[in-house]
Chains A and B, each alone.
Chain A
């Protein structure tokens, strides 16, 4: 049974500083990237669809400094593993995904799109199915020490099913 929380996109975007000082809900720290349009690939059946998935979003950096999206954590509902920041690159003519070294760049005053076939936040070792419409929680961590709480709606997508290649070794999961 899913929660009845409004599913799509965004949500509470709260600087760590703000939450530490008990100010959640107050205007966001301007150094915190703005995360919108969050969703992830539904995995209706782990046995059939595999036990990993990717989360996608738009991240805007309004500051003068480059920031990196370095990974995240979840509330443990669907995986107890940490979330990794991934990129998809071409290796020997084949598109493979791997850890984004140092994180996913969100350029100063720029926007980065995480999408199937490109940058994504990786969920490993799913412990239960993620049906379409499920509301999936994550906390995203950035290189400048800020973090953002997001809720993503699970959706069907057919693209971007690359092989995972740890450290570019060519190993498949």
Chain B
């Protein structure tokens, strides 16, 4: 297919080329032209031109296949923010975000040239606890969704205000870092009349075209992360998206964003066996220690010759395991690598983004179990924690937040 004339591609979308034909070309290239970089004008913009739909019952950026680059930007409301000014800002923020995700510059975009390559850009809006506080002046304290309770302090937390809380979230992700940067810059302008930046937490997973789409992402420990994620409509409806009984919040979801610092120098002193037992999975395949492939169900009852669990009691997978139960949530972790601290230790870790219907029923008990005991706590420290309601999606002509503020 590499020799195929692009002019004969009428009827095949660029997206089809990327997900279908593009992959075929890649594998042909490996066989025929080992060691050569194959670039044709047909495929050189397939990543940049790919578009994720913006409108719908749910916002994009949650169920969306993870993009290579993600940033969570939290803003603090200015004193003039009230339910009316917030509605106005979300109204224009919605339409500006929708334009950017199509590769169209925002109307007030000062750098329209930078909007040309959406690269599966998603822009996702969320609101923090303060919106529902009795003293917020918003008049929305009776609208707080069930289960959106503030998490307690956990024993292993070393939270820094720099990476915690936030009134308004704009989560931007795309397969291109320049696209992400431009979108953040423009959305910051769009919300600037009522909100100032509090933090930007940037992370990454593998770039498109590097690994098979079916691969489960790996974190900086080298382990796969997110194997047990829900995937089907039914699973998302039962565990992730707020249902019709949630009133204005139906179609939304609750995000817990934890910034997890990783002590990689200490981790690096472990041998492979220790690294595998800490998690309960093999590094090579990602399979549970009781299985052969990454999606095999872990057998927590299996014991070794000494009568100990093959998947150790202390392992992270056993401690965090929820099975098909109520606690199951969506893990969407990005890694971060922000260089080194002044003492030379690496400033690295994970932006652990967990999405669920009900934070108190789902995230909290799992987190409490890990806080009580998880061998992984030896090499990880939570240094930031924020909670946001990811607002329901909207249709063309509407705006994200309209069911609460419209």
A159 lies within 8 A of chain B by Cβ: yes
**Counting CB contacts under 8 A, is B345 at the interface?**
no
Q: With contacts A39-B107, A56-B107, A154-B88 known, is A8 near B193, CB below 8 A? A: no
In the complex, the answer to whether B87 meets A133 with C-beta atoms within 8 Å is: yes
Query: Which of chain B's residues have a CB closer than 8 A to the CB of A157?
Result: 108, 110, 189
Report the number of A-B residue pairs with Cβ-Cβ less than 8 Å: 66
Cβ B92 vs Cβ A132 within 8 A: yes
- Point out the residues of chain A lying under 8 angstroms from B222, CB to CB: none
> For residue A39, which residues in chain B have a CB less than 8 angstroms away from its CB?
107-108
Q: Which residue of A lies closest to B105 (CB)?
A: A37
Question: What mask results when residues 81 to 100 of chain A are scored 1 for a CB within 8 Å of chain B, else 0?
Answer: 00000000000000000000
Least CB separation from B90: chain A residue:
A133
B84 interface residue per 8 A CB criterion: yes
Interface size range on B against A: 20 to 34
- Report the bound CA distance from A153 to B95 in whole Å: 10
How many Å lie between the Cα of A42 and that of B91 in the bound state?
13
Q: Are B87 and A2 in contact (CB under 8 A)?
A: yes
Q: Known contacts A37-B107, A132-B85; is A153 also within 8 Å of B91 by CB?
A: yes
Pairwise interchain contact B91-A7, C-beta atoms closer than 8 A: yes
Interface residues of A in 1-29 (CB under 8 A from B): 1-2, 4, 6-9
At the interface, yes or no: B325 with Cβ under 8 Å from chain A?
no
State the Cβ distance, A50 to closest chain B Cβ, in Å: 15
Q: Could you tell me the distance between the alpha carbons of A4 and B92 in the complex, rounded to whole angstroms? A: 13
Q: Is A155 positioned at the interface, with any CB of B under 8 Å from its CB?
A: yes
Cβ-defined contact, B189 with A132, below 8 A: no
Q: Is the CB of B87 within 8 A of A155?
A: no
Give Cα A44–Cα B84 distance, bound, in whole angstroms: 12
Tell yes or no: A134 within 8 A of B by CB: yes
Chain B residue numbers with a CB within 8 Å of A56 are: 107
Q: For B194, what are the chain A residues with a Cβ–Cβ distance below 8 Å?
A: 132
29 A-B contacts (beta carbon < 8 Å) = A1-B84, A2-B87, A6-B397, A7-B91, A7-B92, A7-B399, A8-B91, A8-B95, A9-B107, A37-B107, A44-B80, A44-B193, A131-B84, A131-B85, A132-B89, A133-B88, A133-B89, A133-B92, A153-B91, A153-B95, A153-B107, A154-B88, A155-B107, A155-B108, A155-B190, A156-B108, A156-B189, A156-B193, A157-B189
Q: Which residues of A contact B (CB under 8 A)?
A: 1-2, 4, 6-9, 37, 39, 42, 44, 56, 116, 131-134, 153-159
Which residues of B are interface residues toward A (Cβ below 8 A)? 80, 84-85, 87-92, 95-96, 107-108, 110, 189-190, 192-194, 397-399, 406
Which 5 A-B pairs rank lowest in CB-CB distance, beginning with the nearest? A133-B88, A8-B95, A6-B397, A133-B91, A39-B107
